[in-house]
Each structure stands twice: as structure tokens, then as C-alpha cells.
Amino acid sequence: MARASAIAIVVFSCFLILVLQLADGSESKLCPPWCVTRLDASVARVNISFDWICENGADCRPIRPGGPCYVEGDIKAMSSYAFNDYFQKTRPSGGLCDYGEVATISNEDPSHGACNFTCTPY
């Protein structure tokens, strides 16, 4: 009887920890990966992929002037947002994070300030 009670307490404790982690509002515990611009990618190649992504399904409104993810003069920061948005939309159907070898997977949430990178757990 005591053993059954101990097991029940352990199971309940694990459940409680899981619920508390999910309730803190942090997507990063559930969402990796994100897709970001490679640090070693050339700006010229990033621009080509960036333009294509924004014209073919990524929500690029947050990276327009005045948007929460707009960073004047930092094409790599803004392209990371676009690459990730497109990746999150296409990932469930097999989409990859590469875009002409200018993007890569990151397990760290690239969100910053008011700029929240989309993450779709599945």
C-alpha cells in the first residue's frame, strides 16, 4: 500500500511540474527549432532568398519600417524573421531551413524585445 502511494505521489509530482512549465507562457520549451540566417552568409545571397521568401508566403509585415522586428540596416536580422516565418508554415509538410544555403536551424529562440518569432510545435 505504501509503495502504491509513493508511486502515485511521484506521478502526480511529475504531472504538476509539466503543467507548471506549460503554464508559464513560454513557447521556447515546446517549439524548437527556429530557422535563422547563417552568420557566414553573404548579404547578396541573403537578399535573393529574402526577397523570394517575402514574395512567396512569409509574413514580412513585422519587418517593415515601424514593425516590431524592423532593424534598420540589418538585413540578416530581418531575413531571420522572414526565413523562420516561412519555415514554420512549411515545416509540417516537410519544409526545410536552407534557402540557398543562407539559413540554418537554431534551438535558441531568436525573439527579442517586441519581436516574437513564430514557432509551431508539432
- Predicted TM-score (pTM) of the model is 0.73
Contacts of 13 (CB under 8 A, 6+ apart): none
For range 23-35, the mean pLDDT: 62
Contact 49, 103 (CB under 8 A): yes
Question: For 55-98, how does the pLDDT look when each residue is reduced to its tens digit (9 = 90+)?
Answer: 999 999 999 999 999 999 999 999 999 999 999 999 988 899 99
Residue 53 confidence (pLDDT): 96
Domain boundaries, the chain: 1-27, 31-122
Residue 9 confidence (pLDDT): 47
**Is the pLDDT assigned to residue 115 strictly greater than 80?**
yes
Per DSSP, the residues of 3-49 read: HHHHHHHHHHHHHHHHHHHHHT--GGGT---EEEE-TT--HHHHHHH
CA distances for 36 relative to 6, 31, 85, 110, angstroms: 45, 14, 10, 8
536552407: which residue's cell? Answer: 98
Residue 3 confidence (pLDDT): 61
- pLDDT higher for 120 or 26? 120
Contact 81, 69 (CB under 8 A): yes
